[in-house]
Chains A and B, each alone.
Chain A
Amino acid sequence: MSNGSVARTMNSHSQHAEHHDPAAGKIGMWLFLFTEVLLFGTLFIVFAVYLQKYRFDFREASSHLDKLIGAANTLILLTSSLTMALSIGALERARKSLAQGMLVITIVCALAFLVIKSFEWSAKFSHDIYPKSEAMLLKPVGEQVFYGLYFTMTGLHALHVIIGAAAILIAMVFVQKERTRADRITFLHNTGLYWHLVDLVWIFLFPLFYLIG
């Protein structure tokens, strides 16, 4: 019996002493985001070097991507960034259900982005355009490099969209359980920072791949 009460005491003690340091959480998140910037940044440098080398092939290959589909996905991601920011603003004002509603819209936008992206990729695959395909190997080297970078960078970005959507789902559960709330909002803040980074990467991916043709 005394063991049980000790365990309970320790349990409640550990809950009270749970470490909570918003400033450190925020700085840590930013440091992580910097590694993401350098990850994508390196790929953008590769893109820039080959753009110099194969300027005409890049323009030719880019002209075969659908600008309007790319633009639609841009509008979707920008809107999802707005709803993410609004969700954080709502929870800061302790408006739980508004915050959750905004998170739902954000996830719907993330899924819409992925669906459109998958249609886009399948259209390319159905034209036998994917790395090392027969049709691809007949194309000029510059176009092969362009499509290689296109699939690598939009693929890595799509992976980030999936991870971001999963994080937002977790944030929704935390908000529902009030583990994340106005006075303990770090998890939602950091999820938002991650989501805005995903948006930020796409802001640069979109014009460089779709609009240079």
Chain B
Amino acid sequence: MQTGNTQPHDHPLVPYRVYFMVWGALIGLTVITVCVSYLDMKHVTVLTASMIAAVKGSLVVLYFMHIRFEQRIYAFMILAILGTYAIFIGLTFVDYWYR
């Protein structure tokens, strides 16, 4: 994507309906995650809740925060920070389990 700063927008305008669809999906996923929490699933409760939250979070980052429409560099930066965070999590749990 070649862009110049003389352009007011460096990506095409996102139609309003895209935002409404993302919002609808987020509301739907919230209803699902609350309903699922009433099932007593013991060990997988936290896992399912986290996975649904990850899907919702991805929708927010990709559409509301425009990463889907930005230059690739932003997606790479986000992956780098998530990788760094994963290393923090890994090191913390290695320390916690093997101390």
Contact = CB atoms under 8 A, between A and B. Distances in A.
Interface in B42-99: 45-46, 49-50, 52-53, 56-57, 60-61, 63-65, 74, 77, 81, 84-85, 88-89, 92-93, 96
A48 B16 CA distance: 37
A45 interface: yes
A131 interface: no
Interface stretch (A3-11, A167-175, A199-207): A199-207
B89 A207 contact: no
A interface: dominant SS? helix
B34 interface: yes
B33 to A, nearest CB: 6
A182 B34 CA distance: 39
A206 B63 CA distance: 21
Interface in A170-213: 182-183, 185, 192-193, 196-197, 199-200, 203-204, 206-208, 210-213
Contacts of B22: 82
A67 B23 contact: no
B interface: dominant SS? helix
Contacts of A71: 30, 34
Contact-size category for A:
35 or more
B60 A89 contact: no
B96 A49 contact: yes
A2 B77 CA distance: 52
A154 interface: no
B30 A78 contact: yes
Contacts of A185: 8
